[in-house]
Chains A and B, each alone.
Chain A
C-alpha cells in the first residue's frame, strides 16, 4: 500500500506536486496518468525518498521510505531504465544492487532468467537495446520480491512486442496480490493494463477511480444513427428529449436516447434505419476531458473552437494495439504463477 497525503513539492518557484492525496492498494494495476510535466515522476521520487517533500507525507506500508531497512524487500521501483553504468555487465549491475540488501546470487540468476536476459548476463549494458534495459530494470525491481512495485513510464520507447510483454507482466504482478503503480502519459496503453487510475495534472489530483468509471463518466457517449429520412427521425428524437447533432456526412449523433429506444421509435414510424451504433468515449477522450485544462505546454490548435466540439469522437481510437500480439517473448508471463496466487 502506498499512501500519499497532502503532498507538496516545490522546486524554487515551480510547484511540481500540489497537495496530492491518494492511496494505491494491492491487487490492482493502478495507472498513474497525467500529461508530461504533471508531476508523476516527482511524486514517485518523493515516495522513494529521493526528493524531500516541501510538506505532506508519502508512506509505503505505513513507513517513511527512509526508515525502511533493506527496502528492496518491500518496494521495487523502476524510474529510469537507462540509468545504468554503461561499462558494467547486467549481472554485476544486479549483483551490486542485490548485495546491498542482502540478496544472494541465486536470486540474481533467477531474475535474469525471468526477464529473459540470461544469455546477455555477462555483456556490458552499453550494448543493450532500450527493451533490454527495461527488462534489466524490472529484474532489479523484483530482486527483493517486494509486495509494492512502481514503474515510471515502463513502455516508453518500446516496440509492440516489448509493450505486450510489460503489459502482461504488470497484470501478473497485480494478480499475485501486489501493489502495482505504473505511470504513463499514454492513455491507450493504460486502458489495456490498469484497473484503477489516478489522474493528475499540474501536480493536482484530477481523478482517482476505476478505468471503467472514468470512461463512463465522460460526457462523450452517444449513438450514431444513419437513416434515409434523417431529418424526420431527428425531429422525433428531439421531441423525446434527445440532443441531436448532424454530422458532416449526414449521420446523426444522438445523446439522451439509447440505441434500443431509437430503434423502436424508428420502427414505430416505419422509418428505415441504416446504421445504429452506440459509441463509448475512449479512455483517451475521458483523459483529455480531465487534463484539457491542466496541460502545461499545449500546442495551439487552430481548429479547436470553444464549447462542445461538433465533431464526434472517432468510434475506436485505439491505435497502439494490433490485436494479434506476438506471443513469442521468452518468459511467458501470461499465466499468473500458481504458487503466487493465494493470500496476497
Chain B
C-alpha cells in the first residue's frame, strides 16, 4: 500500500509541517475554485438557474403581449415594466440557490469538512459569495437583455416600445440584471446565518415581502418606509420613469445593494463566533 505519494523521497513530518509560504492571492484563488467546483457539481444549481432564466424571459414576453393588446391604453405605460415584473417571480429560484449554497453544507455536516480544510471561515463565505454572485449576475444580465429584446419586439408592434439607445434605458436594463444577484447573495448570507434550508428560505421571503406591507402605513410614512424596501428599490432602479416619492435611482441602487451587503456582513460576523 502506498499511503504517501509515489514520489521518490517521502517528506518527513517535520518537512510537512514547514509548508512553504503560499501567497494569499493563490490561496484565495484556490478557495474560489474549490467553491466553483462545489457549485457546478450539484444538480440544484442547474435547476434553479434554469428556472431563474427561462421563467422571466417567458413571462416577460407574455406580460408584454397582454399589455400590448389591452383595450384602451391608460396612463403612460412603462415599457420596461414587463421585464422587471417577471423577474420578481424568478428571484425565488436564485434565492433558494443562495440559501442552499450554505445551508446544504450545514444540514449534511459537510461544513465541518469545509472549515477543517479552510479554517478561515470568512474566506469560505467570500468565495461562495463571489462564485454565486458571478453566476447569478451573468444569468441576470442574460435575462435582462433577452427579456428586453423580446418585450420591445412585442411592444414596438403597437409603437409602445423603446430602443436601447434611448437615454436611461441601458442603465435600467443593466440594473434589472442585478436583481437575481442581489437576492441570491442575500440568500447565501441568510443560509449562513440560519444554517437551515427551510428557515433560510423563510427568512429570505420574509425580508423581501414583509417590508412591503409597511408601505400600507398612512402617508407620508408608507412612502418613507417603502423606499428602503428591496421591492421598491428594485423598481426604482429598473424603471424608465422612476416614482417621485421614493429615492432617486442612484440612491435606490445603494439600497438594493445594501440588503445583501448587510446580510453578508452579519453572516461574516456570526460565522467566526459560532461552534460548527
**B1/A335 in contact, CB under 8 A:** yes
Task: State how many angstroms separate the Cβ of B128 from the closest Cβ of chain A.
Answer: 12
CB contacts (< 8 Å) of B26 on chain A: these are: 102
Interface residues of B in 21-47 (CB under 8 A from A): 21-22, 26-27, 30-31, 33-35, 37-38, 41-44
Given A107-B5, A172-B1, A332-B1, the answer on whether A48 and B116 have CB atoms closer than 8 Å is yes
Q: Are B42's CB and A339's CB within 8 A?
A: no
B3 proximity list for chain A (CB < 8 A):
114, 142, 145, 172-173, 176, 337, 340
Does residue A85 face the partner (Cβ distance < 8 Å to B)? yes
- Say how far B188's CB is from chain A's closest CB, in angstroms: 16
Which of A64-72, A236-244, A294-302 touches B?
Answer: A64-72
Residue of B nearest to A89 (CB): B41
Contact (Cβ within 8 A) A87 B42: yes
Q: Are B112 and A100 neighbours in the complex by a CB distance under 8 Å?
A: no
Residue of B nearest to A50 (CB): B276
Q: Does B210 contact A (CB under 8 A)?
A: no
Binds B, one of A75-83, A185-193, A311-319: A75-83
Interface residues of A, dominant DSSP: loop
Q: What's the Cα separation between A179 and B1 when bound, in Å?
A: 18
| Cβ 8 A contact of A85, one of B6, B19, B104, B115 | B104
Contact of A176 among B4, B6, B115 (CB under 8 A): B4
Cα distance, A130 to B104, chains bound together (Å) = 20
Whether A86 touches B117, Cβ cut-off 8 Å, given contacts A99-B37, A145-B5, A340-B3, is no
Residues of B within 8 A of A80 (CB): 109, 112
The answer to whether B109 and A339 touch across the interface, beta carbons within 8 angstroms, is no
Which of B2, B13, B108 is within 8 Å of A83, CB to CB? Answer: B108
A50 contacts B275, C-beta separation under 8 Å: yes
Interchain CB contact under 8 A, B43 and A49: no
**A–B pairs, 22, beta carbons within 8 Å:** A66-B119, A69-B21, A69-B27, A71-B116, A71-B119, A72-B117, A73-B16, A77-B116, A83-B110, A84-B110, A86-B108, A88-B41, A92-B37, A96-B34, A96-B37, A99-B30, A100-B117, A101-B118, A177-B12, A335-B1, A339-B4, A342-B10
Q: Which 4 pairs between the two chains have the least Cβ-Cβ distance?
A: A83-B109, A147-B13, A92-B41, A100-B34
